[in-house]
Structure 1
Amino acid sequence: MRSSLLSIGLSQFGLSVLQTLFMFYYVKVYINQFHVNTKWFNIAQTLFMVWNAINDPLFGYLQEIRGSWLTNRLLVIKTLSPFLVGSFVFMWIPWNTEGSDLEGLHLVLSLFLYDAFFSAISVAWGALFADTTQNQSLIRVKALKYSQIAILLSVFSIAVTEKLSNSLKNFPIFQGICFFVAILSFICLWWGGHFGKITNNRQEDKEQGDREVLIEKEQEKEKEHQLTFHENVQNSIHLTKQILSQRQFLAIVITNFFHTARSIAHMNFASIITEILIPQDILPSGSIRLSLFFMLLTLGPQIILIVNEKLIANAGAIRVISVSYIVSFLSGFMIVASGNPYSIMLFMLIDCVTVHTIAPLFNIIISDFVDDDARKNSRSSGIPSIVFSLNALFVKPAQSVAPVIIVHLLNQSGYQDYLKSKVLSEDLKNTILLILFMTPVIIGGIQYAVMKSMFSFRKQNIRTTHVI
């Protein structure tokens, strides 16, 4: 089992190290470095949102069709990894930096390619997480810990990139770092899929005889009851209706949508907010202090989650999530102290903790839902690929909605003029302060209301589901 957890950890690191750099830099790079105009940025985000809504369910259903190689989670991760890292490198090579339509097309194509391969592997990883830990609460929490250690290691990439590239001022260095990270990610994803397959075979040696008999019988049944394409579509629609009819699933995806929007806002605009609101004598661009601050924002939440494993087990993931929404709501009122840069930095840390510490817990409650759904509908096994992909169907559009809204608000307040003159207007500063502090008040309040009203659970399961 430890080998399976190691496979989960390696694959998570390979995905996370790419996604961390992507989410932190792509908006800033395409606006400030590649000079994509607002029209093309909005077009790209709108098309990206539609593509996000299509590809995750598509890969989810494909990975649940019997007889397809896509049902092998490890093989999907291993096979698609070179395409994922290739699309990541492709993203940072500009076609034109003069604000032409060509660079707008580059942004659209980059988002489409990267998200397609990232989604396919992410769905496989989510299903691997649920399958490996099925009905095993001890292993589920342990798997989350391995996952968070991988994420913890991956976020060092931001501090290193900020320092070596001097906050993107030395862009060729940034491109070199991205190329190195792509190679590292490929190695981890390939070995995650390869190593997991080898170790699983070793663990199953003692039961190989019985398994071969069961497999042969199962294959005979599948040949007798092979579903046609129409029957597969009908079955997929039936499963989707069953899942969407459950209030707990709706509560999960609604709160996760807003959580993802907040997370994206953090990753995309942290450097912009820091540059404008924090004086250069406190956090100079390209300085060790700035790198350490970003490292604290990214590493702090992961460390808190790892060291509080027992607290999560005892209190229950859903209760921890609900408390975080209360803290988020209250933290927004720190706007009264926003005249002090150190108060803003403290708020950013608190906000990062309430967002990024909680985000991984959705893997636990979604995996728990997979188990509950299987029991409720008398399934022989869960359907994690479909559940995780349906979650992504509703959640991933937040990745496009959040940047479009924030970029629109910034441009309305004169952000483009600031980029040219570097003269900060009072209107732009006030807009950024409102975005920063009012987001947790509004979204945190909505999330808490939805979770309390729609997510019903038995008290005894809060503790027993996540016991270490």
Structure 2
Amino acid sequence: MSGNHHNSTAVRLAYGSIAFFLTALHNIFIIYYVDLFITVYKIDQVSFWIGETIFLIWNSLNDPLFGWISDRKSLSSSSNGANEGASPEIVLKRVRTIRIYGPLFAISFMSLWIRWAWPGLQFILCLCLYDGFLTIIDLNFNALLADLAVSVSGRSYLNSYCSVFSGLGTTTVFLSYAVWNRTDLVKFQIFCGVLTIVSAFGFFISATILSSEYRKMNKLNIQSVEPPTTAMGEGISRDTSRSQNVGVRLFLSQVLINKNFLSFSVMNLLQVFHCHFNSNFFPLFLHYLLGDYVSPITASILLGVSFVVPHFSNIYLLSLCRRYGVYNIVQSLFYTKLIIGLIMLTFGSHWPRLLCLFIVSNRIFTEGICKLLNLAISDLIDEDYVQFNRKEPISALMFGVAAFISKPGQTIAPLVGSWMIESVTGKSLFKTDFGEIKISNDNEMKIVDFRQGCFNVLVGISIGCAIAQIVTWSFYELRDQKLKDVKQARRKIELGEEQQKIYPAAYSTVDETRQQMYNYDIKNV
């Protein structure tokens, strides 16, 4: 049983360090990649849309694909009730995957910032390569949250370390803005090169320490827990007598009839879209809405603060989650986002200080919500584990399927954002130098109109997302007493009690049709 390994300080520090390097690289990517290809590499609009479409497909498919490769041996139905939770073997395979692919992820990050091919081709190759390695790291890293801890408090404490280290990782945003120059990328390229080298070694060392500490706690020998592996760390299982594997069709049918999973996935799709919209267009909004009121240094500070604060505020939010539950805190943040948007809409775009506060707080709230959602996915993993009598929790695959539905928001954000700005303002971001228009007496009215259009898009998307999320999240029922029943059921399973005696108590509401379908498919696998 691995549910209490989060209590080790060494494990928490190693887990947090992985979050540090992941955040340090990814924040630079989401801020600058759109600006880089549009204004520096001068990619044309058709190539940009084609690239984003290909990226959308790949970005959506690779999550469930890699999740399936990672967890397919765990997709089995135990006939003797001998479920033990996440085994040491599966945890060590996840850590080993991070150790191998972390440095490769860092190298793929660097491939963005040096022009080595036609912009349209480089755009497609770099995005797909970067996202492929990111997905492998992200799935296994997030799955460890569910595998290392079971209780809400345990996961929130582990997530707190993650938040602290991620907050420290966002300091790269301050430094990046200081060296970012669209006309001369040399300093920025040197900065990214150093960041790549440090992160590559950091992933390897952090994962090695995490693996070592985990082995010590389990008193495991390296030969006894590391069978031959595939590229995704998939071990060749020698235990084939305990259960029968569950097919892809059965698993998807189980997941997609789960009301809680569907409610979460739609809400998360909107959240991913809103987060990436804010990140992709943050420099543009700073330039056009606040360019006349803040200096470049102040803009750099605002950008950095908007990335740092969500991680540290998340520590406080996690303490509230332990007290009031994830559902209630997330729902409260949606209402807060809606109220702030309505206030800004009422005052308009002619209040610089209020607008500055809104732009920063809007991103802080959206990112703050994102940081909490891994806890909700972990609860869904527990629900799936208990409900369908899994041999082991299928953490990576659940994160992958959730991402399959939500990840399109990452690609849709720059497409919808650029389209909305052009529709509202009549100005295409692809026909002029992004963010480089100078205000003069001749075009002052045009710029004022553009500012108002940007303001309308910024506030309108914030209000629209908040309303839609409040509605979809209200259908999520894995909370309060039902969530307590699931947690209690998983603890009993990991203590060795027979799951057949626990399952009905925790899931008395599972309908007969679903169970009949499940039994039929098991016989025909």
Q: TM-score, normalised by structure 1?
A: 0.88
Residue of structure 1 equivalent to 2:208: 194
Query: Structure 1: how far apart are the matches of 2:486 and 2:386?
Result: 15
**Which of 46, 49, 55 in structure 2 is aligned with 1:42?**
49
In the alignment, does 2:129 pair up with 1:113? yes
Deviations 1:66-119 (A, max 9, x none): 3999981011101112221111111111136xxxxx211110000010001111
Residue of structure 1 equivalent to 2:168: 153
Shift of 1:284: 2.3
Equivalent position amino acid for 1:404 in 2: L
In the alignment, does 2:334 pair up with 1:319? no
In the alignment, does 2:446 pair up with 1:434? no
Q: Is the 8 Å Cα contact of residues 140 and 396 (structure 2) preserved in structure 1?
A: yes
Equivalent position amino acid for 1:351 in 2: N
Deviations 1:155-187 (A, max 9, x none): 11111111133x545411111111111112212
Shift of 1:243: 1.3
Q: Is the 8 Å Cα contact of residues 325 and 448 (structure 1) preserved in structure 2?
A: yes
In structure 2, relative to structure 1, the CA distance for the partners of 1:421 and 1:266 (3 Å cut) is: closer
Query: Structure 1: how far apart are the matches of 2:463 and 2:107?
Result: 39
In structure 2, relative to structure 1, the CA distance for the partners of 1:21 and 1:436 (3 Å cut) is: same
Query: Structure 1: how far apart are the matches of 2:119 and 2:162?
Result: 35
Residue of structure 2 equivalent to 1:74: 95
In structure 2, relative to structure 1, the CA distance for the partners of 1:434 and 1:463 (3 Å cut) is: farther
Query: Structure 1: how far apart are the matches of 2:483 and 2:254?
Result: 24
Q: Which secondary structure does the structure 2 equivalent of 1:93 belong to?
A: coil
In structure 2, relative to structure 1, the CA distance for the partners of 1:303 and 1:441 (3 Å cut) is: same
Q: Is the 8 Å Cα contact of residues 63 and 71 (structure 1) preserved in structure 2?
A: no
Q: Which secondary structure does the structure 1 equivalent of 2:247 belong to?
A: helix
Shift of 1:422: 3.2
Alignment RMSD, CA only?
Answer: 2.8
In structure 2, relative to structure 1, the CA distance for the partners of 1:446 and 1:219 (3 Å cut) is: closer
Residue of structure 2 equivalent to 1:8: 15
**Which of 275, 284, 292 in structure 1 is aligned with 2:295?**
284
In the alignment, does 2:373 pair up with 1:369? no
Shift of 1:5: 2.0
Shift of 1:380: 3.2
Query: Structure 2: how far apart are the matches of 1:28 and 1:464?
Result: 48
- Structure 2: gaps of 5 or more residues: 1-7, 75-88, 228-234, 440-445, 488-525
**Which of 414, 420, 426 in structure 1 is aligned with 2:427?**
414
Q: Is the 8 Å Cα contact of residues 106 and 197 (structure 2) preserved in structure 1?
A: yes
Query: Structure 1: how far apart are the matches of 2:263 and 2:414?
Result: 24
Q: Which secondary structure does the structure 2 equivalent of 1:330 belong to?
A: helix
Deviations 1:320-346 (A, max 9, x none): 110111111122121232211111111
Query: Structure 1: how far apart are the matches of 2:338 and 2:99?
Result: 41
Deviations 1:440-465 (A, max 9, x none): 1111000000111x211353467899
Shift of 1:226: 9.2
Q: Once superposed, which parts of structure 1, at least 4 consecutive aligned residues long, lie more than 6 Å away?
A: 67-71, 218-221, 462-466
Q: Which secondary structure does the structure 1 equivalent of 2:73 belong to?
A: coil
Query: Structure 1: how far apart are the matches of 2:258 and 2:399?
Result: 15
Equivalent position amino acid for 2:13 in 1: L
Q: Which secondary structure does the structure 2 equivalent of 1:35 belong to?
A: coil
Query: Structure 2: how far apart are the matches of 1:176 and 1:212?
Result: 43
> Higher mean Cα deviation, 405-414 or 242-251?
405-414
**Which of 103, 109, 115 in structure 2 is aligned with 1:88?**
109
Shift of 1:146: 1.0
> Higher mean Cα deviation, 299-308 or 117-126?
299-308
Residue of structure 2 equivalent to 1:99: none
Residue of structure 1 equivalent to 2:62: 55
In structure 2, relative to structure 1, the CA distance for the partners of 1:458 and 1:85 (3 Å cut) is: closer
Residue of structure 2 equivalent to 1:343: 354
Query: Structure 2: how far apart are the matches of 1:458 and 1:70?
Result: 27
Q: Which secondary structure does the structure 2 equivalent of 1:72 belong to?
A: helix
In structure 2, relative to structure 1, the CA distance for the partners of 1:69 and 1:91 (3 Å cut) is: farther
- Structure 1: gaps of 5 or more residues: 97-101
**Which of 83, 103, 127 in structure 1 is aligned with 2:143?**
127
In the alignment, does 2:239 pair up with 1:241? no
Residue of structure 1 equivalent to 2:505: none
Query: Structure 1: how far apart are the matches of 2:112 and 2:178?
Result: 21
Deviations 1:127-180 (A, max 9, x none): 1111111x2333201111011112101111111111133x54541111111111
Query: Structure 2: how far apart are the matches of 1:376 and 1:311?
Result: 28
In structure 2, relative to structure 1, the CA distance for the partners of 1:410 and 1:455 (3 Å cut) is: same
Query: Structure 1: how far apart are the matches of 2:277 and 2:403?
Result: 18
Query: Structure 1: how far apart are the matches of 2:123 and 2:36?
Result: 11
Q: Is the 8 Å Cα contact of residues 78 and 193 (structure 1) preserved in structure 2?
A: yes
Q: Is the 8 Å Cα contact of residues 315 and 463 (structure 1) preserved in structure 2?
A: no
In the alignment, does 2:43 pair up with 1:31? no
Equivalence map 1:165-244=2 (5 Å): 165=180, 167-205=181-219, 222-224=239-241, 235-244=247-256
Residue of structure 1 equivalent to 2:151: 136
Query: Structure 2: how far apart are the matches of 1:111 and 1:293?
Result: 27
**Which of 257, 268, 283 in structure 2 is aligned with 1:271?**
283
Shift of 1:368: 1.0
Query: Structure 1: how far apart are the matches of 2:304 and 2:437?
Result: 29
Deviations 1:405-441 (A, max 9, x none): 1112334421445537534534422221111111111
More helix, by proportion: 1
> Higher mean Cα deviation, 39-48 or 402-411?
402-411
Q: Is the 8 Å Cα contact of residues 302 and 360 (structure 2) preserved in structure 1?
A: no
Q: Is the 8 Å Cα contact of residues 328 and 444 (structure 1) preserved in structure 2?
A: yes
Query: Structure 1: how far apart are the matches of 2:92 and 2:250?
Result: 20
Q: Is the 8 Å Cα contact of residues 70 and 76 (structure 1) preserved in structure 2?
A: no
Aligned length: 445
Q: TM-score, normalised by structure 2?
A: 0.79
Residue of structure 1 equivalent to 2:29: 22
